[in-house]
Amino acid sequence: MARASRISELIARLPGGRAGAALAVAVLAGLGVGFTLVPRVPAPDEQKIEPLRVELLGQPLTLDESATRGALERVRRYLARRFVLELGDGKRREVYLGQLGAELDKLHLTDLVRDARDLTSPLARTFRASAPAPGAALRLPLPVRLDRDVAVPFLGTLKDELDRAPVDARMDLEKRTLMPEVKGRYLDVDASLLAIERALSSGAASAALAFEERKPRRSSKELGEVKFDSVLGWFETRYDRSMKYEARSFNLRIAASKLDGHVLLPGEIFDFNAVAGPRDEANGYKVAKVIAEGELVDGIGGGTCQISGTLHGAAFFAGLEIAERYPHTRPSAYIKLGLDATVVYPTINLRLKNTFPFPVVLHQTVKNGVVRAEILGPSRDRTVTLVRRITDSIPYEEVERPDKLLPAGQRVLGQRGVAGFKVRRYRIVRAGAHAVRERWDDVYPPTTQIVRVGTGAVSDDEKLAQDDPHPEYLADELLVVTQGPDTRDESGDDEPSDGVMWEDRDPGRFGKSGWTEEAGMPFWKSREPQKSGSEASDPPGKKRGKV
């Protein structure tokens, strides 16, 4: 109304009064008819927009009323197929995407199809604004996600299988050749998940897993020309080859193979746990008896300590520096007190330092019931003597444990007690006119004697009523062992030889049968014959061994 009133006012002011006004009205009316008859030209942004060409999983998607249903069915078929994981080293593994917890986000896919059909949607406008090539198609991403609670454990299992520790360059002592280093790798679970999700988003049929590469510490270039013509030090222990201890013997060979041929440069420290690696099933170890808090129990990698102890003995008599070493929590039948070396991955370790001005090579074998360790180098000039004295013993206690597998009131020796020992050791290293003496003090805690007391019904299983077959532990109060080029028979008939080891033993108060009972410790007399295995099972006196 205001606009009409304004027009009337303007007309009234036109010259000529009412006649002029009539003329003006006629002109305006003619103009209105003219505007009506002239065709309207659309604005540039109102030009006709062609529908988008859309692809899903590499195939055209028709944007009709059934587009959403067709897209859902196509993605479901994709998720039902097998997916290829590229494991590296040219290896591949086919898996179902369900094993990775792949899930389709239906709502997101529905929104994508709807926006593709709507020419005014942000998705369509953004695609057009990107100035695609003529006829280019909009490729819809796949809204597929991985359920981490499913995918992470699956990749964790693959990680146990695919992880590979780096292997240093080493000597093949059988072929007398240099074995090159091997790079290690570790599966990166997070990066692998991201790679799989990206592959799924694009509709790919495979994804490459991500690995973190680890370089070995020792390359073949560093070793140069290593000489290993002489045995600088050696030591042997024995193991039971019977089927009962088959798993333990297997562990001995696994651990020895990881050490054999390892090269130690001048001033370098050998780390047993780093070289032998974790004692687990992934590294090939089996379940066998181990010492845990003084008791023999089943554990993965049982027997590894015999490898470390034998190596410690060889390093001891070679004159290498013993940088780190720990005694067991109970004496071991396969090695003498003071020469053992317990290892527990990754906390308790054996570390040896090469104090020679040339590289040395570790050589360890397990065969025919003997574990043998050697330290190899160009020549041997050190004679080494061990002097070990047991200064005191620590009494063990006896405890009773109820056992429902035994008849009520029956008593069986579950674990024989072993006294603890306080040990002082000396190592005397002689090279020509020079001699160096070192001293260590070891403490072996006592092993509790366990008596099983029956609380159950009568049993016909005779094996349940058998006593622990281990005998009373005997140990020489004084032990002197010498090895090196100046070792010879005291009779004077033998020439000096670096392949000879001499033992001089005095049983003293701890090497005689029945000493624990005389010392007032609870003594159990077994019904079955006891097997040998104590340190002082050999007759006292002197003993000679050769390479």
| Average pLDDT, integer, range 461-468 | 79
Tokens of 154: 């699956």
Question: Worst-scoring range by mean pLDDT, 32-36, 85-89, 346-350, 540-544?
Answer: 32-36
Question: Worst-scoring range by mean pLDDT, 3-17, 125-139, 155-169?
Answer: 3-17
Nearest to 239, CA basis, from 229, 250, 230: 250
pTM over 0.85: no
Confidence (pLDDT) at 31: 43
Give the pLDDT band (50/70/90) at residue 35.
very low
Amino acid letter, residue 72: L
Q: How many residues does the chain have?
A: 547
| More confidently predicted of 52 and 422 | 422
| Rounded CA separation 126/115 (Å) | 11
Rounded to 10 degrees, the C-alpha dihedral 123/129/135/140 comes to -20
Amino acid letter, residue 272: F
Asked whether residue 374 carries a pLDDT value surpassing 60, the answer given is yes
Asked whether residue 4 carries a pLDDT value surpassing 50, the answer given is no
Tokens 């003594």, residue?
Answer: 523
Q: Determine whether 351 is exposed, middle or buried from the number of CB atoms within 10 Å of its CB (0-12, 13-18, 19+).
A: middle
| pLDDT tens per residue across span 251-275 | 999 999 999 999 999 999 999 999 9
Give the pLDDT band (50/70/90) at residue 2.
very low
Three-point CA angle 350, 352, 355, nearest 5°: 170
Confidence (pLDDT) at 209: 97
| Rounded CA separation 487/494 (Å) | 9
Asked whether residue 491 carries a pLDDT value surpassing 80, the answer given is no
| Rounded CA separation 82/180 (Å) | 38
Asked whether residue 16 carries a pLDDT value surpassing 60, the answer given is no
| Average pLDDT, integer, range 59-70 | 92
Confidence (pLDDT) at 295: 66
Asked if residue 470 lies in contact with residue 528, where contact means CB atoms within 8 angstroms, the answer is no
| pLDDT tens per residue across span 42-59 | 445 545 677 889 999 989
Rounded to 10 degrees, the C-alpha dihedral 70/71/76/82 comes to 110
Tokens of 183: 């790079």
| Average pLDDT, integer, range 28-35 | 44
| pLDDT tens per residue across span 447-463 | 999 999 999 988 776 66
Tokens of 259: 């050490």
Nearest to 144, CA basis, from 89, 98, 91, 181: 98
Tokens 């695919």, residue?
Answer: 162
For the chain, give me the number of helices (H) and strands (E)?
Answer: 12, 30
| pLDDT tens per residue across span 178-192 | 899 999 999 999 999
Confidence (pLDDT) at 174: 86
- Percent of residues, the chain, with pLDDT higher than 90: 67
> Cis before residue 540, ω within 30 degrees of 0?
no
Confidence (pLDDT) at 417: 96
- Percent of residues, the chain, with pLDDT higher than 70: 84
Asked whether residue 490 carries a pLDDT value surpassing 50, the answer given is no
| Rounded CA separation 454/414 (Å) | 12
- Listed in sequence order, the DSSP H helices in 135-245 are 148-162, 189-202, 220-223
Three-point CA angle 382, 387, 389, nearest 5°: 165
Rounded to 10 degrees, the C-alpha dihedral 213/219/221/226 comes to -170
Give the pLDDT band (50/70/90) at residue 536.
low
Asked whether residue 423 carries a pLDDT value surpassing 60, the answer given is yes
| pLDDT tens per residue across span 337-349 | 999 999 999 999 9
Q: Half-sphere exposure (CA, 13 Å, Cβ side) for 383?
A: 20
Confidence (pLDDT) at 289: 78
Q: Angle of helix 67-80 relative to helix 106-117, nearest 10 degrees? A: 140
| Rounded CA separation 63/142 (Å) | 17
| More confidently predicted of 202 and 292 | 202
| Rounded CA separation 132/171 (Å) | 61
Confidence (pLDDT) at 517: 96
Q: Angle of helix 304-318 relative to helix 246-259, nearest 10 degrees? A: 40
Which one-letter DSSP state was computed for residue 340?
-
| Rounded CA separation 540/512 (Å) | 10
Confidence (pLDDT) at 328: 95
CA 214 to chain centre: 13
Nearest to 373, CA basis, from 382, 388, 360: 360
Asked if residue 372 lies in contact with residue 234, where contact means CB atoms within 8 angstroms, the answer is yes
| Rounded CA separation 478/96 (Å) | 67
| Rounded CA separation 246/232 (Å) | 31
Average pLDDT value over all residues in the chain: 86
Three-point CA angle 118, 120, 126, nearest 5°: 105
| Rounded CA separation 279/275 (Å) | 11
